[in-house]
Amino acid sequence: MSVETGTSAGTGTEVAAGVRSAGASGRRGIGVVPAPVLMLIGMVSTQLGAAFAKQLFGTVGPATVTLMRLGFSALVLLLWWRPSLRLDRRTAGAVAALGVAIAGMNICFYLAMARMPVGVALTVGMAGPLAVAGLSSRRAGDRLWIVLAALGIALLGWQGGAAGLTGLLIALACAVFWGSYVPLSARVGALLPGGGGLALAMAFGTLCSLPAGIAEGAQTLVRPEVLAFGFGVAMLSSLVPYTCEMETLRRVSALVFGVLLSLEPAIGALVALAVLQETLSPAQVAGLIAVVVASIGVIRGSRKAPASVPSPTLPKGTQQP
């Protein structure tokens, strides 16, 4: 993945320097924005990306959208962080595992989203990190929150028919990948501090999604309007929320950040209503509320955990589907 010599090398260096300079300027500019507002901007941006991605499904399929989102995101992050490709076997294995998790949760999220409302797919997927957080705690009360979340998911998935069941199963697969993302991202972050590990994992995830994405929509990937739309989805889904969350985490505690992040399913449902005119049944609204309440309950419970017990928290939303 090295840059070619000559003119190409100079261009790559200038682009990378420009991206880093823009990132630094952006951080200074957003410093005056209140942290909760930044978090809201990031979450709305993520869900706008999901809604626009669903609009693409009439032209390209979920696998191709996944390929474009991961590919463009990886390109920007690699230019931003410029990580070294010299990894030992342990680090390379952790990066590869994280890449598989990122690719799996994204393609499963988009496949589920094609069969059910965005808010439902997102809320079911969120059960993965919620389960990891609750089950890693020794507090009995956190298990009760998991039960509440399971009841909420049952309400969300109760649509009847094969399509509803298929969508629910795919969303649960997304939850598994998203849940595995939690410990894997922590491991990669410990081995490669900063965003370099994420950039490399995103690149590996792109390679994992390449065969399915090309097989599904190779002919559409040469159309400039499709690529432009895919780039927009990638920036809305990754770069904007990533920037907002990084700045938010500098100013607020993990508890506050986690509680704010727990509101994302509700924001996703509202954005889908505004952009896609997707409505939820009363039972699905009740299920969404149950999962949000359970998520907040687990996070708030982490504040009461003994010092010797790792506090269960939901992961950063950077790579949220």
Report pLDDT digits (tens) over 124-145. 998 888 888 777 777 777 778 8
List the structure tokens of 226. Answer: 């499709």
pLDDT of res. 29: 60
List the structure tokens of 247. Answer: 């700045």
pLDDT of res. 11: 41
Q: Which residues lie below 8 Å from residue 309, measured CB to CB, with a gap of 6+?
A: 137, 138
Domain-embedded: residue 5? no
Q: What is the mean pLDDT of the chain?
A: 83
Flag whether pLDDT at 237 surpasses 50: yes
- Smallest CA-to-CA distance from 319 within 111, 97, 41, 70 is with 70
Domain count, the chain: 1
pLDDT of res. 255: 74
List the structure tokens of 28. Answer: 């200074």
pLDDT of res. 160: 54
Q: Could you tell me which residue, 120 or 132, shows the higher pLDDT?
A: 120
Flag whether pLDDT at 116 surpasses 50: yes
CA distance 125 to 278: 18
Domain-embedded: residue 318? no
Which position has the token pair 């399971």?
Answer: 150
pTM of the model: 0.82
Q: How far is CA 27 from CA 14, 23, 176, 244, 299, in A?
A: 20, 6, 33, 9, 27
Domain-embedded: residue 116? yes
- Least confident interval from 58-72, 90-104, 140-154, 159-173: 159-173
Mean pLDDT of 295-300: 84
* pLDDT confidence bin for 178, thresholds 50/70/90: very high
Mean pLDDT of 296-305: 71
Q: List the domain range (segments joined by +) for residue 135.
A: 34-302
pLDDT of res. 311: 38
- Least confident interval from 4-18, 72-86, 121-135: 4-18
Domain-embedded: residue 239? yes
* pLDDT confidence bin for 238, thresholds 50/70/90: confident
Domain-embedded: residue 310? no
pLDDT of res. 112: 94
Domain-embedded: residue 142? yes
Domain-embedded: residue 97? yes
- Residue 178: other Cβ atoms inside 10 A: 29
Flag whether pLDDT at 198 surpasses 70: yes
Mean pLDDT of 209-219: 95
CA distance 130 to 146: 7
Side-chain-facing half-sphere of 183: CA atoms under 13 Å? 10
Domain-embedded: residue 222? yes
Contact call for residues 149 and 178 (beta carbons, < 8 A): no
- Least confident interval from 77-91, 124-138, 214-228: 124-138
